[in-house]
Amino acid sequence: MKMITAIVNKEDSRQVCSQLIRSKFSVTRLSTTGGFLMTGNVTLMMGVEDERVEECIEILRKYCSQHTEVVPSTALFGSGETSLPITVTVGGATVFVTNVERFEKL
Ligand code: 2BA
């Protein structure tokens, strides 16, 4: 079994979650905050059988869109001389796949 941890845009999270549930994946949804932009995103945790990992990632790929955000650089680096807005490309999804040593439901 693998643990898939996926950080997705808030806007995409509802649709991607319902597609995952429809495909019979178990999902835990956490409200999280990106350390760089300091804006809300959603982290999905899914325990997935090895043979279904690619299927899960394909759903994430299909329903998580990349987008750009323009943010004032002062919001990121404080109010110094650099105050021009900068464009940041965020997502689709940031995905980690890790081995699960043991899985039990007690
Ligand atoms: P944030 O940390 O808010 O980052 C939002 C976007 O800002 C990132 O998009 C990336 O394009 C840019 N960015 C992040 N850190 C940067 C830096 N030090 N310098 C320049 N640009 C930077 P994504 O890469 O798509 O990441 C989206 C969210 O996924 C991140 O939100 C963070 O919550 C998470 N994430 C991404 N990579 C991660 C990692 N290696 N470990 C843990 N969380 C990660």
Q: What is the CATH number of domain 2-65+91-99?
A: 3.30.70.120
User: Please, what is the Cα angle at 83 between 80 and 89, to 5 degrees?
Assistant: 120
Percent of the chain scoring above 90 in pLDDT = 73
Please work out whether the CB of residue 90 comes within 6 Å of at least one atom of ligand 1. Answer: yes
Distance 92 CA to ligand 1 centre (A): 11
pLDDT of res. 32: 98
Provide the whole-model pTM: 0.91
Between 2 and 90, the more confident residue is: 2
pLDDT of res. 91: 82
Sequence-distant (6+) residues with CB within 8 A of 54 are none
3-state secondary structure of 29: strand
Please work out whether the CB of residue 65 comes within 6 Å of at least one atom of ligand 1. Answer: no
